[in-house]
Structure 1
Amino acid sequence: MATNQCARIRYKTLDHCFRDVSKKYFISDLIEECKEALENEFGENSNITKRQIYKDIRFMQSEAGWAIQLESLYENKNKYYRYSEPKFSIENCKMSEHEQKILQESLQVLERIEGLPYFKWLNEAITRLNTDFRHHHTNHFYISFEENPFLHGRERLSNLFDAITQKKVLKITYQGVKMDYPETWLIHPHFLKQYNSRWFLLGISENIRKNITLPLDRILKIENSEISFIRSSINYNDYFHEIVGITHPKETKEDLITLEINSDLVPYIRTKPLHISQKIKGTKGNWTTIELQLIVNSEFINLIFSHGKSIRVTSPKSLKNRIKSEITEILQNYNEN
Structure 2
Amino acid sequence: MGRKLEGLQRMLIIINKLKGLQHYVPREELEKYVALRMEERDGSPVDLRTLQRDFNEIESLFGIRICFDKKMNGYYINEEDDLRKEQYERLLLNFDILNALDSISNLHTYILAEHHRPADNEHLPLLIKAIKSSHPVTFNYIYVRENGRIRTKTVLPHYLKEDQQRWYLLAYDDNILKTFSICYIQDLHINYDKTFKRNMEIDVHRLFRESYGIWNQPDIPVEEIELSYDALDGSFLKSVPLHHSQEVVVDDGQEFRIKLRLRITNDFVMALLSRSRSLTVIRPKHLRERIQKIYKDALKRNSSTELNFDEKKGAI
Within-5 A mapping of 1:68-147:
96-115=2-21, 133=101, 136=104, 140-141=108-109, 142-147=111-116
Moved more, 283-292 or 224-233: 224-233
State the SS of the aligned residue for 1:256: strand
The offset of 1:304, in angstroms, is 0.6
1:194 maps onto 2:162 in alignment: yes
Letter in 1 for 2:207: Y
* Cα distance in 2 between the residues matched to 1:219 and 1:170: 11
* Cα distance in 2 between the residues matched to 1:295 and 1:221: 33
Please, which of 118, 121, 146 is the counterpart of residue 154 of structure 1?
121
Moved more, 213-222 or 290-299: 213-222
Matched-pair contact (CA < 8 Å) for 1:247–1:299: no
The offset of 1:229, in angstroms, is 2.1
Please, which of 219, 222, 230 is the counterpart of residue 188 of structure 2?
222
Aligned to 1:317: 285
* Cα distance in 2 between the residues matched to 1:198 and 1:324: 29
Within-5 A mapping of 1:1-337:
96-115=2-21, 133=101, 136=104, 140-141=108-109, 142-147=111-116, 149=117, 151-177=118-144, 178-179=146-147, 182-205=150-173, 208-225=174-191, 226-229=193-196, 231-232=198-199, 234-284=202-252, 286-336=254-304
* Cα distance in 2 between the residues matched to 1:227 and 1:243: 33
The offset of 1:244, in angstroms, is 0.8
Pairwise CA RMSD: 3.0
Matched-pair contact (CA < 8 Å) for 2:126–2:190: no
Calculate percent identity across the aligned residue pairs.
21
Matched-pair contact (CA < 8 Å) for 1:202–1:211: yes
Aligned to 1:69: none
Matched-pair contact (CA < 8 Å) for 1:146–1:197: no
Matched-pair contact (CA < 8 Å) for 2:224–2:261: yes
* Cα distance in 2 between the residues matched to 1:181 and 1:281: 45
Q: Deviations over 1:71-90 (max 9, x none)?
A: xxxxxxxxxxxxxxxxxxxx
Structure 2, gaps ≥5 residues long: 23-88, 306-316
Matched-pair contact (CA < 8 Å) for 1:107–1:130: no
* Cα distance in 1 between the residues matched to 2:143 and 2:2: 41
Matched-pair contact (CA < 8 Å) for 2:228–2:279: yes
Letter in 2 for 1:235: D
* Aligned length in residues: 231
Moved more, 163-172 or 229-238: 229-238
* Cα distance in 2 between the residues matched to 1:186 and 1:179: 21
* Cα distance in 2 between the residues matched to 1:180 and 1:239: 27
The offset of 1:235, in angstroms, is 1.8
Structure 1 segments, 4+ long, off by >6 Å, are 128-131
Q: Deviations over 1:46-69 (max 9, x none)?
A: xxxxxxxxxxxxxxxxxxxxxxxx
The offset of 1:139, in angstroms, is 9.2
* Cα distance in 2 between the residues matched to 1:271 and 1:162: 38
The offset of 1:172, in angstroms, is 1.0
The offset of 1:298, in angstroms, is 0.3
1:315–1:146 Cα change, 3 Å: farther
* Cα distance in 2 between the residues matched to 1:199 and 1:307: 24
Aligned to 1:35: none
State the SS of the aligned residue for 1:266: helix
1:213–1:319 Cα change, 3 Å: same
* Cα distance in 2 between the residues matched to 1:293 and 1:171: 36
1:165–1:322 Cα change, 3 Å: same
**TM-score, with normalisation over the residues of structure 1?**
0.60
